[in-house]
Amino acid sequence: MNISLAQFVLLLLLGALYLPVIFFVIQRRDEDHGMSNWFAAAYSLLALALTVAEAIWRNGQTSSSGVTAFQEIQIHISLMLIATLMLALQTFLKRENWWIWVGVWTVWALGLALILTNAFNLPDALWTNGSQTLLRSRLGPAWSVLWWLFFSIGFVIAVANGNKEARQVLFRNRLNYWWFALFLTFVNDVLLFSNVIIPGQPPRLFVAALAAYVISTHNVPDLKQIIRRVLVYISIAAVIVGFYAGGVLLLQAVFKNINPLLAGGLIALLLTMIFAPLLGLVSRTINNWTKGDQYDASRTIHQYSESISNILDMDRLASIAVGIILEAMQIERGFLFLVDGDRQADGRKTYRLRSARSPEERQMVAVELDENGIIASYFIREQRPLLQYDLDLLPAYRAASPFEREWFSRLQAEVYIPIFAKKQWIGLLAFGPKLSGNRYTKEDLVTLSAHASQTAVALENARLVDNLMRLNNELRQARRALEKNNRDLERIDQAKSDFISIASHELRTPLTVIKGYSEMLLENPGLDPNFKFIMEKIQEGTLRLHEVMDSMFDIAQIDARSLKPHLQPVELGHLIKEICLEQTDSIKQRKQSLTMELPKLPTVKADPNLLRKLFHHIIRNAVKFTPNNGKITVTGHGIPPIIDLPNGGVELIFSDTGVGVDPTFREVIFTKFYQPGDLGKHSTSKTRFKGGGAGLGLALAKGIVEAHGGRIWVESPGYDEINFPGSQFHMILPLGKLEENEKQKVSESMKFGM
């Protein structure tokens, strides 16, 4: 039948409304749901074509047979539409086997083609019982209705399985919108199959718009919250209407002549008085019935602030802070992480997230986030909560490293709240799903952010205490390690001293034998000249070795504190001159000059043999570490009685123009076996420049000086093998208590020296 111009225009307008839906879904397509967007656009385009075709068909069709034919076409199109919607759902759920439904669609199309072309040459009447007849022309619509039922059941199963497999509540909320699309499709198509024709099939427009919106919008409104509010509005409206009607009837029954307007006004006034508590009662009832979340945010924040303000223990803070939030907001699980910023050598900053848990709890593996990474940069830039739903589904977070995504996924949390103090990221709160199964609302995120702000001060204080305790533990461990190392060094030093003592004792006897027999052979006048040269070298090596063993023996006595000087008057000037004469050959060989600027020094009571060794090692050390053409100077003067030297003393200074001594090694050079420079260049030569020895000379010199009650030290600008700053070895020998006639000599000597 023909339709009016107004109906024709309305159908065309209804078809035109599909165009914004198509543009919206194509414009909002992304990499995540690109295929779903195209299937949703195909659904809208097919429905648009069908609506326009219906307008044209109805405008020019007058026979009832034509209407019947178009109705059959609509049944076939209904199958194509629900199949397209099914493919959009499958790709929205990221099912890899969505193409199977394309195969099912193809089977339907092939079957329909065989039926419509009568490929099996079926008769017009397939079955009859006299009163009812099954015509071949009805096979096509029946075939499409059967497959429509198959797709509908598959749609229901797909949405149900998607809800069961979805981890995020927000995605389940998004998926539940498909139930409304299925419901509208079911109502529209069942009416169509029942010969109840609605021009233009407007429910399909709502299905197309709903599918496009759900596919293209990441955060959709909370469906449960919408239903809850609708139920509250319907319930409060029903209660008000019932209360108003019942009140008016009651007043009219009690006061028969009351004015209806007055009765209505009284009831309305009463309603305004009880509306607020009535609305609260209805809202709480609906929330309890629908398992809505109910908590007092301000009270929770106040309680939280009072509970954590004075906590300084990190483990206790994490337990109490997270526990209060879990209990107040009915959350399944929660974690507190400490964030430590660390600047790498290349200038890149990383943030290390470690859990604040007691040692008894299972510790989680820490993760390091790069400051330029998408996750860390979001927290630092936005300082707002991050949802696991966004982390999993937003294309922007695909740039995160697989390890970071896996670490957050293993937490099984739904929301992450950063904690900042003085614009520095110091912590992170992570919370799992709610026990009620509801999503986190904007109000929930605001409340959690307020908790994070309250946590910042307590966490900063706890971190300071925790760092102090950790530092104290490290210091205690370092002290124990140092004590252990000192004990080990003492054992090593003792073992070294024992070795020196044993070696010196064990080698002295064979060396004495070798020395004695070699001297006897050298005294033989009939000794062959060639053999005599060999024996002289043996004798020379024996004397050198005997000298080393004497030094080792003296060092062993010094270590054992058993070196006892045999004191007797010693003229230092005369003794130093003798030692200098002994070094004449070495000094000439190195083309050096040795100058003695010694006044008449007081006579000291000392062991002349030990002083001989002392001066021998000091002068030979100066010769070795002074270059050719260098200069060595020996000076000295008396010291009047002072607190440390009640009887006065003598200071001797051995100066050279050598390589000098590094200030950091001024004490080390007086230790046993110390060797300056590279040991690979060690030499046993007595005169070679920087030639090393046994490393006992300065140690022995210090031991001899200290055995006489004096002290020795070195002064030098530093070590330099080019400019040769030189060094000065100072030694002070105390004077013993003298007789009256000797004191006069000492006084005169000091005056002369000055």
Decide whether 5-125+135-220 matches 564-753 in CATH topology: no
135, 119, 218: which is closest to 174 by C-alpha?
218
- pLDDT score for 531: 78
Q: What is the mean pLDDT of residues 561-587?
A: 85
With bands split at pLDDT 50, 70 and 90, how would you rate the model's confidence at 702? confident
- pLDDT score for 655: 93
CA pair distance 408, 404, nearest whole angstrom? 6
- Res. 1: pLDDT tops 60: no
- pLDDT score for 713: 92
Range from 327-336, 460-469, 558-567, 740-749 that averages highest in pLDDT: 327-336
With bands split at pLDDT 50, 70 and 90, how would you rate the model's confidence at 66? low
With bands split at pLDDT 50, 70 and 90, how would you rate the model's confidence at 686? low
Lowest mean pLDDT segment, chosen from 377-391, 666-680, 696-710? 666-680
- pLDDT score for 753: 42
The pair of structure tokens assigned to 173 is 């909320």
Q: What is the mean pLDDT of residues 176-199?
A: 90
- pLDDT score for 69: 74
- Res. 168: pLDDT tops 50: yes
- Res. 303: pLDDT tops 80: no
CA pair distance 193, 662, nearest whole angstrom? 104
Q: What is the mean pLDDT of residues 241-270?
A: 82
With bands split at pLDDT 50, 70 and 90, how would you rate the model's confidence at 19? very high
pTM: 0.62
More confident residue, 11 or 362: 11
- pLDDT score for 133: 65
Angle at 264 between CA 259 and CA 268, to 5 degrees: 150
Please state whether 330 falls in left (phi above 0), alpha (psi between -120 and 50) or beta.
left
More confident residue, 686 or 516: 516
Q: What is the pLDDT of residues 29-56, one digit of tens each?
A: 776 678 899 999 999 999 999 888 888 8
Q: Enumerate the domain spans of the chain.
A: 5-125+135-220, 226-288, 297-467, 564-753
- Res. 153: pLDDT tops 90: yes
- pLDDT score for 749: 47
Q: What is the pLDDT of residues 320-346, one digit of tens each?
A: 888 888 888 889 888 888 888 888 777
Looking at the chain, how many residues does it have?
754
Query: How buried is residue 391: exposed, middle or buried, by Cβ count under 10 Å (0-12/13-18/19+)?
Result: buried
Lowest mean pLDDT segment, chosen from 71-75, 96-100, 126-130, 741-745? 741-745
Q: What is the CATH number of domain 5-125+135-220?
A: 1.20.1070.10
Cβ neighbors of 353 (< 8 A, separation 6 or more) are 337, 338, 339, 366, 367, 368, 369, 428
- Res. 743: pLDDT tops 60: no
The pair of structure tokens assigned to 202 is 């407007």
- pLDDT score for 505: 66
The domain defined by 564-753 folds into Heat Shock Protein 90 (3.30.565)
CA pair distance 58, 12, nearest whole angstrom? 12
- pLDDT score for 212: 93
With bands split at pLDDT 50, 70 and 90, how would you rate the model's confidence at 664? confident
As assigned by CATH, the class of the 297-467 domain is: alpha beta
- pLDDT score for 668: 83
With bands split at pLDDT 50, 70 and 90, how would you rate the model's confidence at 159? very high
- Res. 740: pLDDT tops 70: no
User: End-to-end alpha-carbon separation of the chain, Å?
Assistant: 143
pLDDT > 90 fraction of the chain, expressed in percent and rounded: 20
- pLDDT score for 178: 94
- pLDDT score for 180: 93
